[in-house]
């Protein structure tokens, strides 16, 4: 397993001997009981498959949780903006009722959409339009 491309002074972490001892569980182990009823031990392969499926489910739920958290954060930010705008409108309404001559700056109440910025035409396009 030693590559010739690596210098001999480097050691890989995988070179350490790995000793696996099987975990011995008994039928009456409290880990294996559910509501004081023993859970029968399953075939090792079945158990690993079930564990894998549970891990995949946890992964999917975690990812979904992150997506929902992002949506919640965006919604809270939008709500904060709307509350600020609503507070402003309430103040304007109050000031108008107190003083009918009060005129708020309309840009703050209903911001106008700006027209899109036009890109400058290249000299070639200008030459084509003037000649055509």
pLDDT for 20-38, tens place per residue? 666 665 655 555 555 666 5
Does 87 fall in a domain?
yes
CA dihedral 83, 84, 85, 87 (to 10 degrees): 80
Does 96 fall in a domain?
yes
Indicate the pairing of strand 33-34 with strand 37-38. Answer: antiparallel
Q: Is pLDDT above 60 for 117?
A: yes
Q: What's the number of domains the chain is made of?
A: 1
The mean pLDDT value of the chain amounts to 74
Domain that holds residue 70: 25-111
Q: Does the predicted TM-score (pTM) go above 0.75? A: no
Does 5 fall in a domain?
no
pLDDT for 84-107, tens place per residue? 999 988 988 888 888 878 877 665
H helix runs in the chain, sequence order: 44-98, 106-109, 123-131
Does 93 fall in a domain?
yes
Does 98 fall in a domain?
yes
Does 105 fall in a domain?
yes
């Amino acid at each position: 397993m030693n590559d010739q491309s690596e210098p001999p002074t480097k050691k890989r972490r995988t070179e350490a001997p790995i000793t696996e001892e099987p975990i011995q569980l008994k039928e009456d182990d409290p880990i294996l009981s559910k509501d004081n009823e023993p859970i029968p031990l399953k075939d090792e392969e079945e158990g690993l498959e079930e564990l894998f499926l549970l891990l995949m489910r946890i992964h999917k739920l975690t990812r979904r949780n992150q997506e929902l958290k992002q949506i919640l954060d965006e919604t809270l930010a939008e709500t904060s903006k709307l509350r600020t705008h609503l507070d402003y409108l309430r103040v304007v309404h109050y000031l108008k009722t107190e003083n009918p001559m009060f005129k708020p700056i309309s840009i703050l109440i209903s911001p106008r959409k700006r027209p899109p910025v036009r890109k400058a035409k290249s000299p070639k396009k200008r030459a084509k339009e003037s000649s055509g």
